[in-house]
Every structure is written in structure tokens, then in C-alpha cells.
Amino acid sequence: MKPPLLLLIGVLMLAGCSSVSSQRDPTIRLDQFKRIFVEHRLTDRQGIDQLVVQELRNLGYEASCGPLTMMPEKVDAILSYEDRWAWDFRTYLIELSLQLRAVDAPRTFATARYFRPAITSAATPAEMVHLTVARLFGSSSKIGDMW
């Protein structure tokens, strides 16, 4: 093969790669939060908030979702999210970002992001939520189940 062809094949292979990343304030223990409220985005028509709530429950947290005005009492933390969708002959989730903050403090102390730049690395929204929530809460065994 010619070098330009090899370069093109390499670029095409990398275009389908996905990445999961996270950042946390090391001074805050996430296990101190037991009740988490997922802030519903008005633009969410895919039920991402429900998927996040289910993943949190699977990890042992009490979780619910809705608009902030409907947040129940005695919530420890608020989890907000941003989802970005693309269309390439079908609609698919290209990026999911999670931000966790305490109810009484507006500062975000933990974030996680899953980015999939191409349709070729097909993961369902539920799989992306699973990986992102697991990365946010440091459940590396949960992440390993998906790879």
C-alpha cells in the first residue's frame, strides 16, 4: 500500500473512536451523597434523564428527575447533563456530559463526558449513559463490562 492510503485508513479508523473522561474534586467524597436529583432539560426528547436515574439507582443511589422547581426535599446533590445529537441517516447521541454539584453550592465538583464523533462506533444512548455515570462515580468495574 502507498503511504497516503495508509494515512487515510488510519484517519478513518480514528474517526470512529470514542472517549470517556472525568474530573473530580479530590477533597469531596461522592459516597457521602445518597439522594441525587437529575435536572431535566427542556430540550430532552429522548429520556436521557430517565436513563441517568436508572443508572444511579443501579449504583445504589436514591434518584429522581424533573425540573428544578419539582426537586424533592432532602436531596444531597444535583446532577445536570447536556446531550448532543447528530444525524447521519439516523439520529444518534454523539456526546453526553454530566455535572454533579451539591444542592447548597453552585460549584460543580465532578464531571464526566462521553464523546463519540462518528456513527461507526455504535453505542446506544443507554450504553453511553451507563459508561458516563460509571466514570463519574468511579465504578471502573461497570466501565469494564461495556468494553
In the chain, the percentage of residues whose pLDDT exceeds 70 is 78
Predicted confidence at residue 119, as pLDDT, reads: 62
Q: Is residue 139 domain-resident?
A: yes
Q: Is residue 16 domain-resident?
A: no
Contact 36, 75 (CB under 8 A): yes
Which residue type does 27 have? T
DSSP the chain: --HHHHHHHHHHHHHT--EEEEEE-TTS-GGG--EEEEEPPTT--S-HHHHHHHHHHHTT-EEEEE-GGGPPSS--EEEEEEEEEEESSSEEEEEEEEEEEETT--SEEEEEEEE--STTS---HHHHHHHHHHHHTT-HHHHHHH-
Q: Is residue 111 domain-resident?
A: yes
Number of domains in the chain: 1
Confidence category of residue 92, pLDDT binned at 50, 70, 90 = confident
Predicted confidence at residue 147, as pLDDT, reads: 33
Contact 92, 78 (CB under 8 A): no
Of the ranges 58-67, 83-92, 110-119, the best mean pLDDT one:
58-67
Look up the domain containing 122 and give its range: 26-146
pTM recorded for the entire structure: 0.79
Domain harbouring 47, CATH code:
3.40.50
Predicted confidence at residue 141, as pLDDT, reads: 40
pLDDT tens sequence across 22-78: 788 888 888 888 999 999 988 888 899 999 999 999 999 999 999 999 999 999 999
Q: Is residue 100 domain-resident?
A: yes
